[in-house]
Amino acid sequence: MKMTFRWFGETDDNITLGQIRQIPGISGIVGALYDVPVGEVWPEEEIMALKKQVNDAGLSLEVIESVNVHEDIKLGRPTRDRYIENYRQCIRNLAAAGVKVICYNFMPVFDWVRTDLACPLSDGSCAMAYDNSLLKDMTPEELVNRVAQTSNGFKLPGWEPERLGALKNLLEQYQGVDEEQLFQNLKYFLDGILPVCEETGIKMAIHPDDPPWSLFGLPRIVTCGKNLERIVRMSDSPCNGLTLCSGSLGANRANDIPALIRHFGAMGRIPFAHVRNICFTGDRSYHESAHLSSDGSLDLYQIMKAYHDIGFDGYMRPDHGRAIWSEKARPGYGLYDRALGVTYLNGLWEALEKAGK
Ligand code: DNO
């Protein structure tokens, strides 16, 4: 298992590479170029510059999160071929820089969604939260405003203002796209890019929909074991993999995370693991919590044990943390609670390693 840490770049993160380097057990960062518009090719020189910066800090850059997929591909519009060609080139450029895994998602319009980015918890910390009863009464525009107002001034991943500016138009375009169509459009995309992945050795890792159900009537398909199975079977290529995100899939109580890890891990289809906890506050409502099992509703020991049992040798990262110790950071991505998360996950891993000997 290779433990990594997400970093948003020098100008867009309050955390430095030097700080990340000092977290015990971190081998590399999970990065991206954030200024390239969705759908365009990531320039090789910019990728190389990021790689150099990360390597100079004593860290590796082997995982990218995310190369986002243009809406025309998800919508299956005729213009998609141009964007798929760009994606293919992007894969080649990233492979040339030594990248091994690309995380992406196939969520229409919205990436991850929360109704509160700074929900106060009883210990005085804040965490992101999702309350389905609130979302039901919100319009998509209200959600976008709410997120923008509470994001501590940071541009959030997957919430590019330029794309969300065209919200009304985008939502209308999805009216003819149901789940089945979205599956077909994903298959078309994978058929277009996987040959380049095989040539270059890059593994694609689709991220689950977060939360894993339909929002505002938009289709969402990366939601449960059955759908994940359909996706991995769309192509037998080992490059057609998953980002197994415990917090996203875990928001649906019917998803048994350790069982999913064992199943897809045994197939060799989990190149990247996001590990975090959530605490249920209602049927489809929860707030995020510290990684520690007893702080939330998921059993992180069982999750790590499942990874250990399958001999997981892919990349892992702690996922969202709470805002603690007065840190002013991007929601979910502060230094302190994620660093505590890493240390806890590494502790579980060491115990599993030693108990297995
Ligand atoms: C949020 C993240 C997501 C994730 C993308 C992957 O914090 O988990 O934005 O990076 O969905 O494409």
Per the rule left: phi > 0, alpha: psi between -120 and 50, beta: everything else, 170 is alpha
6 half-sphere exposure, CB direction, 13 A CA radius: 28
Indicate which residue's Cα is closest to atom 8 of ligand 1: 112
Instruction: Assess whether the C-beta atom of 71 lies below 6 angstroms from ligand 1.
Output: no
Which atom of ligand 1 is nearest to 243's Cα?
A: 6
Distance between CA 275 and CA 214 in Å, rounded?
23
Distances (CA, A) of 52 to 14, 21, 46: 20, 15, 10
**How many A from CA of 208 to the centre of ligand 1?**
9
114 lines ligand 1 (CB under 6 A): no
At 317, the pLDDT band (50, 70, 90 cuts) reads very high
Instruction: Name residue, tokens 């939330």.
Output: 296
Per-residue pLDDT band at 153 (split at 50, 70, 90): confident
> Quick one: pLDDT at residue 351?
98
Instruction: Name the token pair of 219.
Output: 């289709």
> Which residue type does 72 have?
D
Distance 111 CA to ligand 1 centre (A): 7
Cα–Cα distance for residue pair 316/274, rounded to 1 Å? 6
By CB atoms closer than 10 A (0-12, 13-18, 19+), residue 162 is exposed
User: Each residue of 264-283: pLDDT tens digit?
Assistant: 999 999 999 999 999 999 99
Question: Does ligand 1 have an atom closer than 6 angstroms to the CB of 288?
Answer: no
| Ligand 1 atom at shortest distance from the alpha carbon of 6 | 10
Q: Percentage of the chain with pLDDT > 90?
A: 87
CB atoms within 10 A of CB 176: 9
For residue 331 and ligand 1, the question of a CB distance below 6 A is answered with no
Q: Which residues in the chain belong to E strands, given as ranges?
A: 2-6, 28-31, 60-65, 101-105, 116-120, 126-131, 203-207, 240-245, 272-275, 278-282, 285-288, 315-318
Query: Reading across the β-sheet that carries 116-120, which strands appear in turn?
Result: 116-120, 126-131, 285-288, 278-282
- Least confident interval from 90-94, 159-163, 260-264, 295-299: 159-163
Q: How many domains does the chain have?
A: 1
- Percentage of residues in the chain having pLDDT higher than 70: 99
pLDDT in tens, 122-131: 999 999 999 9
Cβ–ligand 1 distance for 105 under 6 Å, the answer yes
pLDDT for 136 equals: 87
Q: What is the dihedral of CA 308, 311, 313, 315, to 10 degrees?
A: -40
Q: Which numbered atom of ligand 1 lies nearest the CA of 104?
A: 12
What mean pLDDT do residues 318-326 have? Answer: 96
**What average pLDDT does the structure give for the chain?**
95
Expressed in angstroms and rounded, the spacing between residue 284 Cα and the centre of ligand 1 is: 19
Closest CA to 200 of 300, 58, 96: 96
| 45-54, 55-64, 150-159, range with the lowest pLDDT | 150-159
**Cβ(110) – ligand 1 distance below 6 Å:** no
In this predicted structure, the answer to whether residue 47 has a pLDDT above a threshold of 80 is yes
Give the C-alpha separation, 267 to 237, whole Å.
Answer: 11
CATH of the domain at 87: 3.20.20.150
Compute the CA torsion angle 253, 256, 257, 259 (nearest 10 deg): 180
Q: What is the mean pLDDT of residues 136-156?
A: 84
> Would you place residue 221 in the very low, low, confident or very high pLDDT band (cuts 50, 70, 90)?
very high
Identify whether the C-beta of residue 26 lies closer than 8 Å to the C-beta of residue 343. no
Please return the burial class of 33, using the count of CB atoms within 10 Å of its CB with bins 0-12, 13-18 and 19+. middle
Whole-number Å distance, alpha carbon 18 to ligand 1 midpoint, is 24
- Determine the Cα–Cα distance for residues 160 and 144; give it in Å rounded to an integer: 10
Q: Does 111 contact ligand 1 (Cβ within 6 A)?
A: yes
Mean pLDDT over 174-187 rounds to: 96
User: Does the Cβ of 8 fall within 6 Å of ligand 1?
Assistant: no
Strand-pairing partners, residue 285, are 131, 282
Which residue among 69, 112, 276, 315 is best mutated to probe the pocket of ligand 1, counting the most ligand atoms within 8 A of its Cβ?
112
Question: Do 315 and 273 form a contact (C-beta atoms < 8 A)?
Answer: yes
pLDDT of residue 209: 98
Q: What is the pLDDT of residue 29?
A: 98
Position 30: which residue type?
V
What domain range includes position 77?
2-355
All residues at 6 or more sequence positions from 171 whose CB lies less than 8 Å from its CB, including other chains:
109, 140, 216, 218
Q: What is the mean pLDDT of residues 135-157?
A: 84
Tell me the catalytic residues. Answer: 207, 245, 274, 319-320, 333
pLDDT for residue 84 is more than 90: yes
Say how many Å lie between the CA of residue 83 and the centre of ligand 1. 20
- Supply the pTM of this predicted model: 0.96
For residue 158, the CA-to-ligand 1 centroid distance in Å is 7
Ligand 1, atom 1: closest residue by C-alpha: 112
Among protein residues, the one with the nearest Cα to ligand 1's atom 3 is 112
